[in-house]
Chains A and B, each alone.
Chain A
Amino acid sequence: MQIKDIQKEKRLSGKMKLALLIFIFLATAPLYMSSFRVTMLGKYMCFALIALGIDMIWGYTGILSLGHGVYFGLGAYCMAMHLKLEASDGALPDFMAWSAVEKLPAFWAPFQSSAFTLFSIVLIPVIFAAVIGSLTFLNRIKGVFFCILSQALAFALATFMIGRQEYFGGSNGLTNFTTLFGHAVNDPVTKTVLFYLTLISLIAAFALCMKIVNSRAGRVLVATRDAENRLRFTGYSPAVYKVFVYCLSAALAGIAGALYVPQVGIISPTDINIAPSTEMVIWVAVGGKSTLVGAILGALVVNFAKSLVSEQFPAVWQFFIGALFIAVILFFPAGLISIKDLPAKIRSFIKKRADTGEAEDKKQAGTNAKAKSDNGLFSNKKPVTVTSVKVSKGDGQ
């Protein structure tokens, strides 16, 4: 017990230091950054919040959701509906008038209340996630089947929002906000408050996830990822844990969406569709999955890179993010968090390539051509498995 705790303590403190560093950087950013950059940082922190949730379900529990834009969108739209109502001040929101809607739809009415809105940004994503989660996990729909469904979900919701011009502003989304709970959204003070509110949410979410991961529940999640059936026959219900963690990540995404809207000033179906939803996963992969601080780091770094690259060369960004997907998953699944291992990884990969090449040479020369090339395939497979095991080891934090 003691030896283990000391080891854990050490590993933990490395990551905690990094987390602390990131939070200090974020907290002091308004002191030396332009307000334009600070607003961007606020946006990235919202993304980091989503990344935390995705890391919980993907990194720890092994569920890959490609539709988290849905939960982000639900939170964001709830907030945006409230802002829209504030902006129109009793009248119909502008886009409804354009679509010849005559009176406020019934489901918009409750969003006039700030309290209801604040509840809804968490509750609506959670309820939605609970329904989707129960329908899938309880019936053992898992792995890629779930992936594809989650993606279809994002697609369906985005299509729905685009089609419902009169209720949700169609493909333009909801924009032109003026005030947030009575404070002008463009006011520097409001902006600063929002920035720190996002930071506090991020830190709180980080602490919460940390607590869960270090509890026995966290170990059950890892067990779900590694051997779901063994867990079931150890007396746990993997589906219930999955629904729980899925709802948690939906709640985080919902909060992120709600914080995003007043800072960025617009939410549209483009932000919740398949492409952004899939991009959310790569943030976690780049930072290092199964490490919470990695998720935050990844979200910040990738989005910062995105801003830099697409400001300069918009067309290059898609090549860049595409290549990032390929490179990170293929060559560096442990992510930025273990960057010090990168040179060794590359060396072993080159060596592996050389070995495979050798196997293929033998295949051409040898008489047992078939058997050899298959050996090549499997020897090819093994190092990959080993790296993935290493990744999962890191999650003991």
Chain B
Amino acid sequence: MGVATPVLEIKNASITFGNFRAVKNVSTTVYENEVRFLIGPNGAGKTTLLDAICGKNKLSDGNIIYHNEGEEYDLQKIKENKIVNIGVGRKFQAPSVFTGLTIFENMELAVVRERDVFSSLRSRLKKREIEDIKHQLQFVGLYEMKDEYPTVLSHGQKQWLEIAMLCVSKPKLMLLDEPVAGMGRRETQRTAELLRIIQNNCTIIVVEHDMQFVKEVATLVTVLHDGELLCEGTMDEVSSNQQVIDVYLGRGGE
């Protein structure tokens, strides 16, 4: 890991809601092309941490540094949509897509780079962008339905559409919150496959409860409990840690 370049450095991050400390003094570094999993029981602060990275929450203490092409960004100081535009993509737990637009149009909004009003008024999709959308939709098996509205999609398919939208926007760092929730075994396999492909030119942070899935894709696993970092390591290391077994894995991964 020594030679790898860091993509995200979380330094002493704490997050408080009123009197409730959801995340307590968490520090970790995520390196390029890594697939990092955040696991832990419900209420451990996993989603809250993702929220802080993508700008939805503010840290009450500490900071989060993001590296992209030699630039350093303090994510605390950047607005959510700007964070996306410097290469941090986020998928939320509940699938959320634009129901008034066709699947293709959903992808269109994600694929373009210039997202200000005037570009949107003028520009049309480039050939390359249309190809990207086609390729991505074919991969998740939604290409045939590209002119349908997302209301016809199943829960799992909506997840895929959202992931496809993320992929096509080519982020440097991808934050996925329970990407395989509501998916069957086969779909989960396919998602794992997808993540392995994405991994080649992207760093991924995933919150997930499906341990089988974690085993398949994770490079490193970070275990959170009660807002604190419990331990960090490969899946094998983590799953043999007695503390982790006590609070989480031993309880069936909740």
Contact = CB atoms under 8 A, between A and B. Distances in A.
Q: Do chains A and B touch in the complex (CB under 8 A)?
A: yes
Given A4-B147, A389-B151, A219 B99 contact: no
B171 to A, nearest CB: 9
A149 B130 CA distance: 42
A212 B109 contact: no
Interface stretch (B16-24, B112-120, B226-234, B235-243): B112-120
Interface in A382-397: 389, 392-393, 395-396
A230 B130 CA distance: 21
Contacts of B115: 234-237
Interface stretch (A106-114, A122-130, A150-158, A220-228): A220-228
Interface residues of A, number: 32
Given A215-B121, A231-B109, A236-B109, A225 B100 contact: yes
Contacts of A7: 147
A229 interface: yes
B85 interface: yes
B42 interface: no
Contacts of A396: 101-102, 105
Nearest to A396: B102
Contacts of B110: 234
Interface string B87-112: 00110100011111110110011101
A234 B99 contact: no
B75 to A, nearest CB: 13
Nearest to A241: B117
A248 to B, nearest CB: 10
A395 B100 contact: yes
Contact of A235 (B104, B149, B169): B169
Given A217-B117, A236-B115, A392 B99 contact: yes
A233 interface: yes
B123 interface: yes
Interface string B192-223: 00000000000000000000000000000000
A183 interface: no
B84 interface: yes
Contacts, number: 98
A240 B124 CA distance: 20
B84 A229 contact: no
A241 B101 CA distance: 17
A31 interface: no
Contacts of B105: 219, 396
A235 B54 CA distance: 11
A258 B108 CA distance: 39
Among B80, B89, B115, B151, the one with the most A-chain Cβ atoms within 10 Å of its Cβ is: B115
A3 B147 contact: yes
Interface residues of B, number: 38
B100 A216 contact: no
Nearest to A240: B117
A233 B147 contact: no
Majority DSSP secondary structure for residues of A touching B: helix
A244 interface: yes
B101 A237 contact: no
Given A233-B54, A234-B110, A244-B117, A222 B123 contact: no
B128 interface: no
B165 interface: yes
A27 to B, nearest CB: 29
B48 to A, nearest CB: 16
A216 B80 contact: no
B123 A216 contact: yes
A233 B84 contact: yes
B165 to A, nearest CB: 7
B81 A235 contact: yes
Interface string A291-334: 00000000000000000000000000000000000000000000
Contacts of A222: 98, 100-101
Interface of B: 54, 56, 79-81, 84-85, 89-90, 92, 96-102, 104-105, 108-110, 112, 115-117, 120-124, 130, 146-147, 149, 151, 165, 169
Given A226-B101, A230-B92, 15 more contacts: A212-B121, A216-B108, A216-B109, A216-B120, A219-B98, A220-B120, A222-B101, A223-B101, A233-B81, A233-B84, A233-B90, A233-B92, A234-B110, A234-B169, A235-B81
Interface of A: 1, 3-4, 7, 212, 215-217, 219-220, 222-223, 225-227, 229-237, 240-241, 244, 389, 392-393, 395-396
27 contacts: A3-B147, A215-B122, A216-B112, A216-B121, A216-B123, A222-B98, A222-B101, A223-B100, A223-B109, A226-B100, A227-B96, A227-B97, A230-B97, A230-B98, A232-B81, A233-B84, A233-B89, A235-B169, A236-B81, A236-B109, A241-B117, A244-B117, A389-B99, A392-B99, A395-B100, A396-B101, A396-B105
